[in-house]
Amino acid sequence: MKKITILLIALLATVAVSAQVPSAINFQAVVRDAKGDLYQNKIVALDIILLEDNVTAI
């Protein structure tokens, strides 16, 4: 009985941890020029850098 309880707790912990991993990043932005006017219906390029475990890397 003790082995079944430990196995059940381990299984539930594994499911709980894997359920918290995001599958995508949702992102919205507003692009403006130097005068503050909106860029609407124009193509823009973005550079996105994801940092892990080091917030002072820039």
Q: Read off the pLDDT of residues 2-53 as tens digits, 9 standing for 90 and up.
A: 888 888 888 777 765 555 656 777 878 899 989 999 988 888 888 888 777 7
pTM assigned to the model: 0.38
* Predicted local confidence at residue 36, as pLDDT: 92
DSSP state of 41: S
* Predicted local confidence at residue 20, as pLDDT: 60
Backbone angles phi, psi at 16, to 5 degrees: -65, -40
> Cα Rg for the chain, rounded, in angstroms?
22
SS3 state at 29: coil
* Predicted local confidence at residue 24, as pLDDT: 76
* Predicted local confidence at residue 12, as pLDDT: 75
For residue 43, which of 55, 35, 31, 51 has the smallest C-alpha distance?
31
